[in-house]
Chain A
């Protein structure tokens, strides 16, 4: 449903952008709505275009003027965070998929139950950010998988370590009734 909403709003914003561009090409005075749209388009062009695309990411099909460190959205490196209930793994890959940095709570020296804490995830995030900046990475898009204790604090650790987060995606696996999970606990 969110995809449908995003596609709908994106098509609406596309229509608005086309309307604004056609109006700026004509330059004729029309009814009040069109003048409002033209002023809005002029505002957007003067300010940064970021306010236009607040919740929606740039789609791969269409070209957007947004750049981060000179890179388009599709070329930014991706940082995967796998937040399980017992641990948190962080892996940084480039836009193709080649792995650059890999950290987890275990590699930070935590053991057993201490790995399933937000603090451990934060330290893993900080160390991942440090290694990433050593490799020359500044802007990154984050993909979160799983509902674990380190879900938010890993992202916090990244920002504390000095990495710029451009977008957050949620890739938690939702089975449409696939594999049968284990039985309920404490019968």
Chain B
């Protein structure tokens, strides 16, 4: 750890002796930041061709999931004000 700003980043305080909860919080924060993913990937070298394939696949997957979530949210909207007022 750098001599400056130690124990500031990636630190979770333990509340009331709940060490498991604190560890789970830390894990959740790290996965959200993508640190655990990066560490697992950098264990072995990833060739640039494989890296490009993976990035392409992840972007397609992200687009698909966002669009599907939008579609589901739209379809599950049941209460809306009457679009054909007066007819």
Q: A: which residues have CB within 8 A of B? A: 1-3, 6, 50-51, 53-57, 59-60, 73, 141, 143, 147, 152, 155-156, 159, 164-172, 174-175, 180-185
Contacts and interface: CB of A to CB of B under 8 A. Distances in A.
Contact of A183 (B12, B25, B33, B44): B44
20 contacts: A2-B33, A54-B13, A54-B15, A55-B12, A57-B13, A141-B7, A143-B1, A159-B17, A167-B12, A168-B11, A169-B7, A169-B12, A170-B11, A171-B1, A171-B10, A172-B39, A174-B35, A180-B45, A181-B42, A184-B46
Given A155-B19, A165-B19, A168-B22, A185 B44 contact: yes
Given A181-B44, A184-B46, 18 more contacts: A1-B33, A2-B33, A3-B8, A57-B11, A141-B7, A147-B39, A152-B23, A159-B19, A166-B14, A167-B11, A167-B12, A168-B14, A168-B19, A168-B23, A169-B7, A170-B11, A175-B42, A184-B44
B79 interface: no
Given A168-B23, A180-B45, A2 B10 contact: yes
B13 A56 contact: yes
B14 A169 contact: no
A87 to B, nearest CB: 16
B68 interface: no
Contacts of A73: 7
A155 B17 CA distance: 12
Interface in B29-50: 29-30, 33, 35-36, 38-40, 42-47
A155 B12 CA distance: 14
A169 B13 contact: no
A181 B43 contact: yes
A141 B10 CA distance: 13
Contacts of B45: 180-184
B23 to A, nearest CB: 6
